[in-house]
Amino acid sequence: MNAAIRTENLEKHFGRTAALDGVSLAVPEGAIYALVGRNGAGKTTLMKLLMNILRPSRGTAQVLNADATRLAGKGFCGIGYVSENQQLPDWMTVGALLDFCRPFYPTWDRALAGELVAQFDLPLDRRLRQLSRGMRMKAAFVSALAYRPRLIVLDEPFSGLDPLVRDELVDSLLELAGESTIFISSHDLAEIESLASHVGYLEEGHLLFSEEMSTLSERFRDVTVTLPEAAAARADFPAACIDVQIAGPVVRFVHTQYEGAATERQVAEAFPSALSIVYDPMPLRAIFLAVAKSQRDRARLAQTNARTVNV
Amino acid sequence: MIPFRVQLRPGVSLFEQIVYAATRAMVAGQLRPGDAFPSVRALSKELKINPNTAAKVVAHLVSVGLLEMRPGVGTVVATLPDSTARERTQLLDQQIEELVVEAKRLGIELDETQAALTAHWNKLGGTEKPAGTRKGDS
């Protein structure tokens, strides 16, 4: 598999804090990889390492088949990078920004730039500092996408934007999605879910999982067991079952390694008196919450830094 | 615009949902033979899905003969063999199973369920036949 991004045991320390620890992931070419995780999990740090804004403490990162630490100048011609609080030259007009960027990128497509400006209703003669948050982000997008970069890296691009703007930005990404690889971090899980082909979950600097969206969807199930009478608490749930809740005769938990009939048999054996056992697939947001809560609860229980557990 | 109804539910395979929605539309006669089918790009943009997923959907529908590629035109709905009432009923399979499971869970008997079904059927009125109905349908 040709990887547009590949990291091996990537580590970044700030003083004694490990912002990233042992992160190994691979983003296949043409993929749309969603990096999700709580605030402060290390997503921005990871992206800055990939863009050579920060240096790793240990480990390696390859971006478009070159060492990320060597990324400079012309190396960025094939990469479009937009961060959450993108700094833009506020005194420039939108038009001036595009005129300024164009000469740096041999593959700049004027027609595409024009189309994006039109689709986004961007006023070319308005200064960037006069634009709303959404408009600024659109301007940043045009300046980053107009040259059809092979790799698009987006750090929380939808943060604080209204649904229509988000919709328009997603459309612009879909224009390029076929030919480009997209690496995007976002809290907009609903939006990301249908877009992303791959997803990685970062928790306190550790990658809990990194896989195809389809396999993630297939292995997570929300399980509801209805028993004939009030359920007793039990401590024998396997590690694959998280977020256990018991209320009266109903036991609910999230199974993280669902494998169809085999799993259903195991669960049926664990609850031989069950009146019904229902398996519901879970949207990405529900998966995120279940994993995040499980990690939070472990941390509280251990009363130390969270131990990572493979989910 | 996509010429058939797709309501995407999160958590269930997008590929399966769209293939199902398209197949249903074709068998029910909403999409007729010769009608243009949305391009991969159009599907991807309208449904806000990964273009790879859209491409898989189209490739699958072509491979099972529901769509065909016409040079210069794009993908069009293939000339369908007459679908029997039996085939159309199979499309409802999942919903029927869900209904049965739910009814049993609530302790409702078969005849009560049938009565409820009939009531709803009549309430929605009309006996519109879909465009694809052929004479001699069994």
DSSP codes of every residue in A53-117: SS--SEEEEEETTEEGGG--GGGGGGEEEE-TT----TTSBHHHHHHHHGGG-TT--HHHHHHHH
Write out chain A residues lying below 8 Å of B50, CB-based. Answer: 32, 177, 194-197
Model confidence band, residue B130 (pLDDT cutoffs 50, 70, 90): very low
- What integer pLDDT is reported at residue B127 of this predicted model? 45
Window 30-59 of A: residues touching B by CB (8 A cutoff) are 30, 32
Amino acid at A134: G
pLDDT tens-place string over residues B45-94: 889 898 989 999 999 999 988 899 888 888 999 876 556 666 667 777 87
Q: Do B10 and A190 touch (CB under 8 A)?
A: yes
Q: Both A186 and A45 in a single domain? A: yes
Q: Both A110 and A225 in a single domain? A: no
pLDDT tens-place string over residues A246-299: 999 999 999 999 999 999 999 999 999 999 899 999 999 999 999 999 999 888
From the list B10, B47, B105, the residue facing A193 with the nearest CB is: B10
Distance CA B75, CA B58 (A): 8
Q: Both A54 and A76 in a single domain? A: yes
- What integer pLDDT is reported at residue A231 of this predicted model? 82
Closest residue, chain B, to A180 (C-alpha): B51
Q: Both A123 and A22 in a single domain? A: yes
| CB atoms inside a 10 Å sphere around CB A130 | 12
Below-50 pLDDT ranges, chain A: none
Q: Which of A166, A198, A216 is the last residue of a domain?
A: A216
Q: Both A260 and A200 in a single domain? A: no
Q: Both A203 and A253 in a single domain? A: no
Look at residues A8, A1, A4 and name the one whose alpha carbon lies nearest to residue A207.
Answer: A8
ipTM of the assembly? 0.72
| CB atoms inside a 10 Å sphere around CB A138 | 24
Q: Both A85 and A175 in a single domain? A: yes
State the CATH number of the domain containing residue A118: 3.40.50.300
Q: Which of A183, A216, A249 is the last residue of a domain?
A: A216
Q: Does A276 touch chain B (CB under 8 A)?
A: yes
Q: Both A127 and A241 in a single domain? A: no
| Residue that is written with structure tokens 């000339």 in the block | B79
Closest residue, chain A, to B46 (C-alpha): A171
Write out chain B residues lying below 8 Å of A168, CB-based. Answer: none
Write out chain A residues lying below 8 Å of B51, CB-based. Answer: 174, 177-178
Range of the domain at A85: 3-216
Write out chain B residues lying below 8 Å of A171, CB-based. Answer: 45
Q: Does A73 touch chain B (CB under 8 A)?
A: no
Contact B50, A197 (CB under 8 A): yes
Q: Both A172 and A294 in a single domain? A: no
Count of helices and strands (H, E) across chain B: 6, 2
Q: Which of A184, A216, A248 is the last residue of a domain?
A: A216
Q: Do A170 and B10 touch (CB under 8 A)?
A: no
Distance CA A250, CA A221 (A): 16
Number of compact structural domains in chain A:
2
pLDDT tens-place string over residues B90-105: 777 877 888 888 888 8
Q: Both A51 and A10 in a single domain? A: yes
Distance CA A41, CA A20 (A): 8
Does B131 have pLDDT greater than 60?
no
Residue B84 CA from chain centroid, whole number: 14
Q: Both A266 and A201 in a single domain? A: no
